[in-house]
């Protein structure tokens, strides 16, 4: 079984949803830089406030901030811990830094076309407390605007609004897509078509991991 996994794919491709299901079933730790940064921003820490300036525009937070943040998290993991990296690395520089600490044995790339991504993100609703995500049509919460898992009020992330989504996709293409080739060169890339229902995609994800 693969135990050090990077989830690649554009915003809205399902990294969070699939990563969460996988970490739950396999007992792996899921490290989402997006969730960490949003929490830091909510708490108003210096890192959070700085990161927010970039996140609100749909831009990437500078590499040195992200690399420092992740270095500590990774160092605190036990030797044999299974880890799912969600939203990190997003640049070749981040991938090089990660590679110095961890041997990645699977880079799982979720492939979804742009029109579907825009639909997913603009209709996504997120839980600020437990980070669960919903879609107004495909995966709605049982009670409108309330998280099934923890009862908190759901919100529409500022960066999931259409103008910012378009920018995030452009940034993805320029900075993060080169990682597909990067991991292909290392022989660890697997690409999965990330369309269909959540369970169908999950079955493919699991097959790649086991």
Among 71, 157, 204, 206, the one annotated catalytic = 157
Nearer to ligand AMP, 26 or 65 (CB): 65
**Intra-chain end-to-end CA distance of the chain, in Å:** 5
- Which residues 97-156 are close enough to bind ligand AMP by CB under 6 A? none
Read off the DSSP letter of residue 56.
T
* Stretch of residues binding ligand AMP (CB under 6 A), selected from 18-26, 31-39, 40-48, 193-201: 31-39
Contact, 17 vs 199, CB < 8 A? Answer: no
* Stretch of residues binding ligand AMP (CB under 6 A), selected from 23-31, 52-60, 148-156, 183-191: 52-60
Cβ at position 12, least distance to ligand AMP in Å: 8
- 61 sits near ligand AMP (criterion: CB under 6 A): yes
Cβ at position 19, least distance to ligand AMP in Å: 10
Read off the DSSP letter of residue 196.
S
Q: Which residues bind ligand AMP (CB under 6 A)?
A: 11, 33-34, 37, 54-55, 58-61, 66, 87-88, 90, 94, 159, 168
């Amino acid at each position: 079984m693969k135990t050090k996994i990077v989830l690649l794919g554009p915003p809205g491709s399902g990294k969070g949803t699939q990563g969460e299901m996988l970490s739950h079933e396999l007992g792996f730790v899921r490290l989402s830089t997006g969730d960490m940064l949003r929490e830091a921003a909510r708490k108003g820490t210096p890192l959070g406030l700085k990161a927010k300036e970039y996140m609100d525009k749909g831009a990437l937070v500078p590499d040195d901030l992200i690399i420092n943040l992740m270095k500590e998290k990774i160092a605190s993991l036990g030797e044999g811990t299974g880890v799912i990296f969600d939203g990190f690395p997003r640049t070749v520089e981040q991938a090089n830094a990660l590679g110095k600490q961890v041997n990645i044995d699977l880079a799982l790339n979720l492939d979804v076309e742009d029109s579907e991504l825009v639909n997913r993100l603009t209709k996504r609703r997120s839980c600020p407390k437990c980070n669960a995500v919903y879609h107004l049509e495909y995966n709605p919460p049982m009670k409108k605007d309330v998280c099934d898992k923890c009862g908190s009020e759901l919100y529409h992330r500022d960066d999931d609004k259409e103008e910012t989504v378009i920018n995030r996709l452009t940034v993805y293409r320029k900075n993060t897509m080169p990682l597909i080739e990067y991991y292909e060169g290392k022989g660890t890339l697997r690409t999965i078509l990330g369309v269909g229902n959540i369970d169908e995609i999950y079955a493919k994800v699991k097959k790649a991991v086991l």
